[in-house]
Structure 1
Amino acid sequence: MEHIMMTFLKSKWVLWIILVLAIIGGGYWFFMRSNSASYQFVTVTQGSITETVSVTGNTTPTKSVSLGFQNTGTIAHIYHTLGDHVSAGEVIAELNTANLSAVLQQARASLAFAEANLASLMAGTRQEQLTIDQNAVTQSQMALINAVANAYAVSDGAVHTNVDQFFTNPRTSIATLTFIVPDAMLANKVAQDRIALEPVLTDWSEQVSSPSFSGSDPMAVATQTVQNIAQVSTFLNDVAAVLVKTPLSGSLLATTLATYQSSIATARTNVASALTTLTSAKTALVSAEGALALAKAGSTPESIAAQQAQVEQAQAGVASAEANLQGSQIVAPMSGMVTQQDAKIGQLASSGMPLVSIIGNGGFEVDAGVSETDVGKLAVGDTATMTLDAFPNESFVGSVFYIAPAQTNTQGVISYQIKISFNKVDPRLKSGLTTNIDIQTKHNENVLILPQYAILQNDNGTFVETLVGKAMTTSPITLGIQDQKGNVEILSGVTLGEHVINIGLKKQ
């Protein structure tokens, strides 16, 4: 039997039959396998979903202020440095107040003088008093004439000595600086101002050296002198600005530039002092002439009222001088910590220039920028969860309390500033800490949910794919909000428990 079977298997016809059957069976298997599609399905579920907006910001103090001097001057004292805690009302830095103190003393003296005149008027005027008042006028006139002469001498020295040392042909119409200034416009202005000053100084020199100068009308001369000093002061300020902007070079060494700057600073101080002296002399003359006029007029009710006005004017002068003196100090308006201290002793401080910054003791908030696509989702009061790079594995909770009404354009990118408060004060917080923020904008309960990867989006709309029998169909859907995990709220188009095909990607 075994022999018969082996003979049968060795038959050619049997081998051909087996081969054909194998080919037919393999083809059928391949054909059936290629025509049976395999799908993965996602089930429509019901639950809650939260929409969030994620941004990055930085902590900033809730209270902060930048401070500077109200007056221009040289810094004389520094009482608090970087990192110091200060209380409201403490003086942080102070200018040299010698000139301002002198002005205040002069104002107080003028007030005392006006009050004395008022008392004299009310007591009645005697001949002896008239003589004294006349002498006071004469002395005030001479003092004003001397102040004019002094103002000329100081201004002439400031220009011809302090400035002309770095000018070529300074007293001609072709005056130019001896060094190159990057700001050509400012350099040209300084050169033109120098040319314009020369005839002013020449006429001024002729005036004060004239034999008739001492007999001139002192008030008229003083008025012209004030205009001349103003022109000189403007010129010196521009020269100082030029020296600040001038770089060092082979022809302009650091020591030379420092010498020039020191010389101009001295000149500006001297000219300012001369102007103060001139102004004080004018004020004294006006007061003396007023006192004499009142004495001659007698103690009428009108003259007493006029002198009372002089007293009030002098009181205002004292108040102004006191205010200027107070403006020479940087005073802490609130308690906190000094976070910027750029004031240095000997430095020339400009009026209004911020030198000191203070952050208050009221804690911190977070500033961030939100894109224009997300700002419409936000509302004041939205809850924010925050993590700070400085404190890993910790979360902080707060809420949005400010949304800017106008945009911020940074290199063509539009954003809107928002501010977020912390629910709890944390003493570890510092200014400038990087903060990662998740803001909860909407939360819906009992809604239909699908993952994003089961949703098809194209130019025709938004769809899901399902199987009806063995045929795949496309159904339109309406989307709601989306959370950070990729889950999407489905408003219409599917039912709870329905199976949709997991397409695996978002088509564009």
Structure 2
Amino acid sequence: ALIVVAGGYYFLFPSGIQQTTYGIATVATSTLVTSVSGTGQVSGQNQIDIFPQASGQVVAVDVAVGQRVSAGQTIAVLDQRSASLTLTQAQASVQSAQASYDKLLAGTTPQSLAVAKLSVTSSQNALTHAYQNLLIQLQSSYTQADGLVRNQLDPLFSNGESSNPTLTFQTSDTQAGIDATWGRVTVGADLNAWQTLLGTLSATSSPDQLSAAVVESQTYLSAMRALSNHLMDALASAITMPGFTASIIANDKSTVDSARSTVNQIISQIASSYQSVQNAQLALQQAEASLAVQVAPPQSQDIESAQAQLTSAKAQLQAAQNAYGNTIITAPFAGQIAALNIQVGDQAQSGTAVATLVSQKKIAEISLNEVDVVNVQVGQKATLTFDAVSGLSIAGTVAEVDTVGTATQGVVNYTVKIAFDTQDPRVKSGMSVTANIVTSVVQNVLVVPNGAIKTQGNQSYVQVLSAGAITPVSSSSALYLSSSAPRQQVVVVGSANDTETEITSGLSAGDIVVTQTITSSATAASTQSRTSSGLSGGAAAGGVFRALGR
């Protein structure tokens, strides 16, 4: 530690403070240009072979041998039916993805919101109606059950409503008789309890009260069904006697069985009414959930998903446009057709030259490795520089890309021919040339420095700092301190060049990302000088300063 003595005061500072500083960058909208470079020589020949970028049947040949052509003029056309269909589908996919993305950002339309609110109101009314129907059903069920007991079952009892009823007939099944008489006592108590319960219910009763009433009502009805079963058992063993003949027994059985069927029907009707209430409750919950979704702003993950789908659709459209364009074989620069190797009906192959073009333009032949050459296509623009002519930069156009590479010491290279867009007499055949070929230009995209991109498994992510939490280390420093730790943000990356990477999802313009993290041990120091004539028992006036290390 470091002890600082100043003006009679002692200050103790730790000597191993950990300090983290950050290099940062602001996410911005930009044009991302990707390119590849290679070296070679200026060719001594001024002719190139023209290779189609796709394979297919030749449907048109628009030039003849000896004809002069301009840059971009059509030489031949391949069958476009499949490419045209794919292009149309890709265009429709972009339109659909764009519409979905725009709709998500715009939120719910007033019409959709009105429909959602109407659905909630309708569901509430349906639930109220279902509750009313259930209450009516319970009241009706009690009335029907009470009449059933008194009119269809009580004729088989003496004093049926008393606490000690007896059967009006004799049965050899003693237990069935006992069960029937006790069953009538139970049903009598249940009817009284049921009537009391229904007296507590109204249209304003809570759902829980109505649910409990349904359960109780079904319990009471089950007791009535059990009473019917006991009576049927007792009648099955009934003893015939004068005034209680077999035909009377059969008629009583039919009456009891009819009562039992009616009880089952009542149970089923209550269950159906209660199921209607439950269905109405579910419909209301769904309507309220739908309204909540309509009212709520779009979720960030939904926006990111829609944005990713739109980006994917645009990429597929670009691929479809490229495929369609590849069916049209054009002259890379102005010149004269020296040879024509195809006619209508032939099958053109991407690795076979269809024509030879002679021009007055100089041509640079450069070598690219197998990794870089896959991104190079005929027609792409290039910038040419020359070791022998300092400061000279000439624009060029890719005119030919070898389809077969040459392996040297295990490395496969391909020759790419670039036609000069302008001529300069200082450039001679055989001169060394460096070409920088632009392979992609993506406009109006979010970009971050490559150093900000990190990977974890199959995911890419960046570290994001809060704008209000950072302060520069000093006025001249490019590093920043942060009062809070950076948060990890998963991103979807697109194209990239040597310095920047496109972000298609996960960030917004203005976000601050970490490009560098530096953690260091620094010795904190503080000095204080005081001039005072009133100091005593300590340092002399004038602010004596001592540092004691240990």
More helix by share: 1
TM range (shorter): 0.3 to 0.5
Larger Rg, first or second structure (1 or 2): 2
TM-score normalised over the length of structure 2: 0.31
